[in-house]
Amino acid sequence: MTNAGAQRDMGKRWVRRRHITMCAFKSFFRDCPDDIRDICDQELTSLVRVLRQSSPGGHEPTKDITYFVARSMWRLIYGRGRLPDASTCERLRILSTKMDDYTKNSGPFSALDRFPMLKRFVAGSMTRYQDAVQFMNRFCDDCEVERRAHTGADQSHDLMTYMMRGARTLTTEDERSLGLNEDLLFSGVGDLIRAGTESPSLLLLWVCLMLAKYEDVQRKMYEELEYLRDSEADIPTICEASADRMPYSHAVVYETIRYCSIVPFLKRRCLSDAIVGGHRLPAGTNIIINNYAISHDPRRWHDPEVFRPERFLDQDRMFDASQLEQFLPFGIGKRRCMGEEIGKLLPFAAIATLVLNFRLSAPDPIDLSPSFGITLTPKKQPLVFTPRSPGSKQPESNS
């Protein structure tokens, strides 16, 4: 396969690739809600079991949470209803650890991106970044080969089922005029694995830190979620992202996205000459959108430096979706996040399940200053996951 990811693809070919991929996403979520829910339930149950065994003195959860998301993404994209075998699990664990090298050594906050001449002086960082990208590309190529070997073994569907249907719509004209064939189309799945693992796991980690720091927020969230608990389940899970049923939980997650600005900058390119604020921007000019400034603009947000989920609730304490128009949680325009449905479901389901099963706290003061890279990454620090019993209450806090 070719390893030309969608991030480097532009123009008409990109439009065609994106259309096929978006149709695949929409069809998968429309046709397979039960399969998706089952995968979430099984993977969340595994995550809870792992965290139940964590040290009562504190446990740094980055590897466990990233591995949970990576496994979930693999099953949604390639799994066809299967659990990953031992070899795939090992590669998913390696991918989870390499994600750090990818995020910290690329993007607008990376010194290597801002000052390319530094690459010759920081060979170690550059090598780790390139190694991470190459490993992810090889992993996705191998997954597709292995998946094809299982085709016909069962009738379960995954995202690649719909990607392959989309590939059958490619014409000789697509290949002749756009250089687009099946291999190039599928090579973009590597971007789905990277982004689909990176962003949800970072959001989960940030929310865990915020809930451990602000115990009153965690208490309100738990009280809302307790009504959705399955009283028969040893490990209750919540595999949905309903704003109507969980308005405060939604508010917590979106306030975390706003407050932490996980993706601080968005990059676009002028397709034609433009004048913005009196400045002429020729076609081909790269544009950097300061997403952090939008999310912390005092003209749009009262006390933007305060973590306050209530700003996303209306006067009836229901989730106020109109507030989402004030910032860019999933990007904007034609390059808006393709995996928005997965980006919503996994973090919402996971954080709701974690709060339902654990009281989150920290043995040390929590550091909310980020590490810089293609995203703003939380500093690694231990958290305590104290198992809850049904009906357990959380003490009031003045945090």
Asked whether the beta carbons of 204 and 69 are under 8 A apart, the reply is: yes
The percent of the chain in helix, strand and coil, each rounded to the nearest 5, is 55, 10, 35
The Cα 37–Cα 345 span in angstroms is: 9
Asked whether the beta carbons of 249 and 224 are under 8 A apart, the reply is: yes
143 marked as binding residue: no
Sign of CA dihedral 150, 153, 158, 159: positive
Neighbours of 145 (CB within 10 A): 10
From the list 396, 354, 363, the residue with the least C-alpha distance to 46 is 354
The CA angle 84-130-286, to the nearest 5 degrees, is 110
Give the CA count within 13 Å in the CB-facing half-sphere of 33: 4
> Residue type at 215?
E
Give the end-to-end CA distance of the chain in Å, rounded to a whole number.
52
Q: How far is CA 260 from CA 201, 338, 376, in A?
A: 14, 21, 8
Residue 220 corresponds to which tokens in the numbers above? 């309100």
Residues contributing to the annotated binding site for heme: 337
Residues contributing to the annotated binding site: 337
